[in-house]
Chains A and B, each alone.
Chain A
Amino acid sequence: MADGPKPSSSVKLVLLGEAAVGKSSLVLRFVNNDFQENKEPTIGAAFLTQKCNLPTRTIKFEIWDTAGQERFASLAPMYYRNAQAALVVYDLTKPTSLVKAKHWVAELQRQASPGIVIALVGNKLDLTSDGEGVRSGGDGSGDADVAEGEESGDARKVTTLEAQSYAQEESLLFFETSAKTGYNVTEVFTAIANAIPETSLKTTRGSNQAQGRTGDEQQRVNLNANSAGAKDGCAC
């Protein structure tokens, strides 16, 4: 598959976000070009790989698709610790999921490797009336009314503007996608591939080994649901 001389390098990417926002669906769309209406929640995490061909080089994504449920939150550091890229996903029909996404961004900025490329992704664009996500939706910030959204056939609860300006402030890549239709999905990954600094690509080969060895002696990760959220860094 590696055709000829094009340099190829691995990029470790982690997906984070609230449960059911469509992380696994985005990955499945990207890796298998497939979508399932009733995807079961991820248990733990799934590891997938997919190549992304850029004009000058091939990027091989090593993707950690994590489970969004609270009880797995304390495991997240294990996956983002050595990641070069993160995809923080929210569901643009669910304002609380953007709040959660902001928490993840903050945590990544605090604890992940300094050069990490973060993309903020608003998923389920197909549920909005502006289908392709070209223009921004009306108002309906924060706590919009459910009935109102359904009336207009537009389930959007997070405006493009709100998310986009937040992304700009934090210097994140920003996309609105639909895993269901496939809209913008490859674009997200390509943009990430392009945003990875050349320098950090040099070191990627063999990084697996290093990661495998770290922290064998560490305490068992605590999955206690009560404390999961509060103990973010505990697995380090």
Chain B
Amino acid sequence: MAEDGGKRAHLSPPGPSAGELTHIAHENYSSSQENKIQSHSSKLVTRPNVGDESNDGPPPPLPPRPGVAPSPQAATTKVQSIDVQTLQFPDGSRGTFQTPGARAMSTPVQLAANSGSSTPGRSSTVDADDAMSVMSIVAPTLRPPGDLASLMVSDMSRKSPAWQLLRSQSASVKPFETVRLDVRDSLADFAQEFEPVPGTSEQGGLGDEQRLAVWKSKLKHYMILSSSGKPIYSRHGDLSVVNSFMGVIQTIISFYEGADNPLQGFTAGGTRFVIVTEGPLYFVAISRLGESDAQLRSQLEALYMQILSTLTLPNLTSIFAHRPNTDLQKPLAGTEPLLSSLADSFTRGSPSVLLSALECLKLRKSHRASITSAFLKSHAGGNLLYGMIVAGGRLVSVIRPRQHSLHPSDLQLVFNMLFESGGIRSGEGENWIPICLPAFNNRGYLYMYVSFFDAAENTAPSSTSNSSDAVPEAIPFSPTHPTPQATSSDSIAIILISPSPTSFYDLQSTRNNLVSSLTKGPLLSHIRTSIQSGRPSLTTQISPGTPLSHFLYKSRANVQFCMPSSSPQFDSPLPRRKLMSLYHSLHGAVHARHCHLKVLHSVADDSTSLAWITPTFELYCVAGPNVSRAAMTQGANRIVQWAKREEERLFIIGGGVF
């Protein structure tokens, strides 16, 4: 509902006073009212919290939240401003409800996700015509000198007394305050976001009420259910917690199914619900992190792709065609960890998913060319479809037949399996995995050979190059030598994909050939050196003296992106999530439908950011709150120059073709 209207409302007013997110939220609804098709005036009689609350009785009290300073003042102010909300549904009907203040207080997040597109405390202007003409809203006079270099995160947590004083005296800053506190509140639980909801059976475990409260405190839920209401997957909580909610969700969705206008999403109590229906399956995302509907939808699509990757579309269809009541959990057995690690990475915030692009390991052009040609020479048949060398989710080299190219969404599934889920680990042999790559072909399985370079192989090329034997040496049996486990971001994988289930040994010899030619020469150590030196540092390597703190640069032609090292300020999950939230909102804004935006400069009290879209690239960058527009644009220009200069090191252009 109202998604597009919402985004336009967010962007179009030339100058809403900065930070008045609540007003934006209202415009959101009112603008969508203008678009509505007045089909019938059925008023939706529903409590706003349906789906968020059990439908019996008042919500249970939340458990005490350690370390969260409650800010009742802020909450109250805010609640008043969203007291009345109007919901619009795709069929044109609307529901109006009052948000009970008391309940609002009990929930940590109210506003953060309210408009469905997000990072509160920012507002933006747009100049759609002149690519470099940008306007900022916050009066530049607020910028205290000497604070220019302050970065988003450090600024977020502490400010100099002088800045506090200045801020408190400036009327135009005030609106930010509440929002800032809200943001803190909503993300205060972020550390617990990845903790499991305790199970029923655990000794001394929590009661149902408490478990429910823990479950509700999660910022992000994903649920998958069949259209007959059978639960298939829930990110948090076991079936005993989730079952009744699945029922409610199924009822709501199927209520709209009949009409030609299915329910796509709704907002309740600051939480956004987005629904995707794929054949017999319902996918639901419930988020208080403030992604746009389109972004949540693409996350749900990725979960669907994972299910197809396990089952293939014909299998999925036939399962439900024969028995609509099937419990899909069984055929999907073993897929849950993959879904969960996808869900976790969406919750952490993944640039790759956001941009639908892949990241490459930065290598000298000549080094990459040598690696790729060694790869091509190693090719030993086996009906190879794709061959890849991947270092911790970053592509090193790709070889493929001329007629096929790789789909980022497929590779995301592969990388998730290999580098995130922990299901496939280095040091545990070679793997032979049937997998459907749905963007390539959702109707059948391919077979994926995966082998990790062991740490030892770096120094012992001889152990792998005894080519008389088609099988690589076993890792020596040595209790003192711990297995290189927990497939880390450092591990290098060789991935070979074939349509033939019996080509394992051919692919294995391809791998052995490749390993011996990489280890014979300096090529493997080039790869390792690049892994060890990490992503380039923005301030020391890419653009010394830049006011920027971080950026994402996507090369549209190559469907690849690059970014600088996140160290040190974005290393931990919370600052990283804040950064990613900012990117999500920039991305959401510039990609809103009907919004032909080229440059978006956005200023908030905690950050300044810029999105710049051209036919060849997309650049998103972030700086501290007091960076001037001029400095920002200059910084952006430098990044673009750098990326152009380094293009053939940052990106794989074409790859090896056989």
Within 8 A of B (CB), among A21-56: 24, 27-28, 31-34, 36, 40-51
Within 8 A of A (CB), among B440-472: 444-445, 447-448, 470-472
Chain B interface extent, by class: 35 or more
Alpha-carbon distance between A221 and B431 when the two chains are bound, in angstroms: 17
Alpha-carbon distance between A43 and B310 when the two chains are bound, in angstroms: 10
**Chain B residues, CB < 8 A from A33:** 477-479
Q: Mask for A197-211, Cβ within 8 A of B = 1, else 0? A: 000000000001101
Query: B433 and A44: CB pair below 8 A?
Result: yes
Dominant SS at the A interface?
mixed
Query: B315 and A224: CB pair below 8 A?
Result: yes
Report the minimum CB–CB distance from B138 to chain A (whole Å).
49
Within 8 A of B (CB), among A114-151: none
**Chain A residues, CB < 8 A from B505:** 208-209, 211-212
B318 part of interface (Cβ distance < 8 Å)? yes
B85 part of interface (Cβ distance < 8 Å)? no
Q: Mask for B325-354, Cβ within 8 A of A = 1, else 0? A: 000001101100100000000000000000
Query: B483 and A34: CB pair below 8 A?
Result: yes
Write the chain B residue with the least CB distance to A40: B423
**Chain B residues, CB < 8 A from A63:** 429
Query: B501 and A220: CB pair below 8 A?
Result: yes
A169 part of interface (Cβ distance < 8 Å)? no
**Chain A residues, CB < 8 A from B447:** 44
B570 part of interface (Cβ distance < 8 Å)? no
A-B contacts, CB under 8 A, total: 138
**Chain A residues, CB < 8 A from B473:** 1, 49
A19-B333, A70-B330, A225-B319 known; A220 vs B444 contact (CB < 8 Å): yes
Query: A46 and B429: CB pair below 8 A?
Result: yes
**Chain A residues, CB < 8 A from B431:** 43-47
Q: Mask for A78-111, Cβ within 8 A of B = 1, else 0? A: 1000000000000000000000000000000000
**Chain B residues, CB < 8 A from A72:** 434
Query: A32 and B428: CB pair below 8 A?
Result: yes
Report the minimum CB–CB distance from B451 to chain A (whole Å).
9
**Chain B residues, CB < 8 A from A36:** 485
Alpha-carbon distance between A43 and B332 when the two chains are bound, in angstroms: 11
Q: Of A45, A50, A212, which one neighbours B477 at CB under 8 angstroms?
A: A50
**Interface positions of B (Cβ within 8 A of A):** 310-312, 315, 318-319, 322, 330-331, 333-334, 337, 382-383, 417, 421-424, 427-435, 444-445, 447-448, 470-479, 482-483, 485, 499-506, 508
**Interface positions of A (Cβ within 8 A of B):** 1, 10, 19, 24, 27-28, 31-34, 36, 40-51, 60, 62-63, 65, 67, 69-72, 75, 78, 208-209, 211-212, 214-216, 218, 220-221, 223-226, 235
- 16 new A-B pairs (CB below 8 Å) besides A65-B429, A218-B502, A225-B315? A19-B333, A19-B334, A28-B428, A31-B429, A32-B483, A34-B483, A40-B423, A41-B337, A46-B428, A48-B428, A70-B333, A71-B310, A71-B334, A75-B501, A220-B499, A226-B331
Closest 7 pairs between A and B when the two form their complex, measured CB to CB:
A212-B505, A48-B429, A225-B331, A44-B433, A40-B423, A49-B474, A41-B334
